[in-house]
């Protein structure tokens, strides 16, 4: 079965992640209904799309075969590490929480979020993302996750957290650090380098990096080495494309926001000159 076919076949809803995603969606929608002002529909749709991405990654055929096909694992990796986190952050859950909390709690939570923002500087976030990306694919660690279900689940959680940390300096809100358009571009370019290099190496390596995939691949009637090459292409091409596209959107938005701020300053200065 093709990887595209896995999106519609072999769905097996895992109780814990499915329940957590459903509960999170219910809490978010409940908070939206309690906001004193209308909450932008775009934020709601983005957050729900992020949760849906997690469900597809874990409960569809992709999740069912991630222990049998490295290509399925790598597609799951792109969904959990590179796509779901920016969608969830675009839902502005931090701002939504502040909007529905009472004043005393709002101050405390707001201060906590600002502390998190100060701690999650771009360099630190980039290091954490790279360590998780490459560290979980070290053969001894990767093989252990294939054998032990709890480690496998921990790997999924690590991907979601690392992706969220990577995108926090760009999309986290409220965030005391404002990253300009050019630093955004440099930041995302640096984030794509390890993913691109590892994916290209995996695609070109003539040896099987993870021998535990050999037997499952034979049972599926596919070549484990060819599947590894496909996995490398997914990480190299698809992962880079997803991050590049989303990064381009954030850079354009940052440019537009900077232009609006400049126009506002010019209007303020002009008003001051007229009043003077």
Q: Which residues contact 224 (CB under 8 A, 6 or more apart)?
A: 70, 208, 213, 214, 216, 217, 218
According to the model, what pLDDT value does residue 6 have?
Answer: 72
CB 250 within 8 A of CB 184: yes
Indicate the average pLDDT of the chain: 86
CB 195 within 8 A of CB 243: yes
Summarised one tens digit per residue, pLDDT across range 3-13 is 667 777 778 88
The predicted model gives 14-35 an average pLDDT of: 92
Question: Does the structure show a pLDDT above 90 at 30?
Answer: yes
User: How many angstroms separate the CA atoms of 46 and 55, rounded?
Assistant: 14
Pick left, alpha or beta for residue 92 (phi over 0 → left; psi -120 to 50 → alpha; otherwise beta). left
Distance of CA 38 to the CA centre of its chain: 27
CB 32 within 8 A of CB 70: no
According to the model, what pLDDT value does residue 272 have?
Answer: 56
At residue 129, what are phi and psi to the nearest 5 degrees? Answer: -60, -45
Summarised one tens digit per residue, pLDDT across range 114-131 is 777 777 788 999 999 999
Stated pTM of the model: 0.86
CB 37 within 8 A of CB 92: no
User: How many angstroms separate the CA atoms of 81 and 85, rounded?
Assistant: 7
Domain assignments of the chain as residue spans, ordered by start: 3-275
Summarised one tens digit per residue, pLDDT across range 167-205 is 998 888 777 666 777 888 888 889 999 999 999 999 998
According to the model, what pLDDT value does residue 243 have?
Answer: 85
User: How many angstroms separate the CA atoms of 142 and 27, rounded?
Assistant: 34
Helices (H), the chain: 3-6, 15-34, 41-59, 61-64, 70-77, 84-90, 93-100, 103-119, 122-135, 139-147, 149-171, 181-204, 214-219, 224-233, 239-275
User: How many angstroms separate the CA atoms of 191 and 63, rounded?
Assistant: 25
Question: Does the structure show a pLDDT above 70 at 267?
Answer: no
């Amino acid at each position: 079965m093709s990887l595209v076919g896995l999106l519609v076949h072999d769905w097996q809803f895992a109780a814990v992640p499915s329940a957590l995603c459903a509960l999170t969606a219910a809490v978010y929608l409940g908070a939206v209904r309690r906001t004193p002002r209308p909450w932008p529909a775009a934020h709601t749709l983005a957050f729900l799309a992020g949760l849906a991405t997690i469900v597809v990654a874990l409960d569809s055929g992709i999740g069912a075969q991630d222990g049998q096909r490295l290509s399925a694992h790598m597609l799951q990796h792109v969904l959990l590490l590179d796509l779901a986190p920016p969608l969830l952050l675009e839902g502005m859950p931090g701002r939504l929480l502040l909007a529905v909390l009472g004043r005393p709690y709002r101050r405390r939570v707001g201060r906590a979020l600002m502390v998190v923002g100060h701690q999650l500087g771009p360099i630190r976030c980039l290091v954490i993302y790279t360590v998780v990306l490459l560290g979980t694919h070290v053969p001894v660690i990767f093989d252990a996750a294939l054998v032990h279900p709890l480690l496998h689940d921990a790997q999924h959680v690590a991907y979601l957290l690392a992706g969220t940390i990577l995108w926090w300096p760009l999309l986290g809100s409220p965030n005391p650090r404002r990253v300009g358009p050019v630093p955004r571009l440099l930041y995302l370019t640096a984030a794509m380098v390890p993913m691109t290099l590892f994916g290209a190496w995996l695609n070109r390596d003539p040896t099987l990096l993870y021998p535990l995939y050999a037997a499952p691949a034979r049972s599926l009637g596919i070549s484990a080495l060819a599947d590894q090459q496909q996995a490398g292409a997914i990480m190299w091409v698809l992962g880079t494309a997803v991050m590049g596209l989303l990064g381009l959107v954030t850079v354009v938005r940052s440019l537009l926001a900077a232009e609006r701020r400049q126009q506002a300053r010019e209007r303020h200065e002009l008003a001051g000159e007229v009043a003077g």
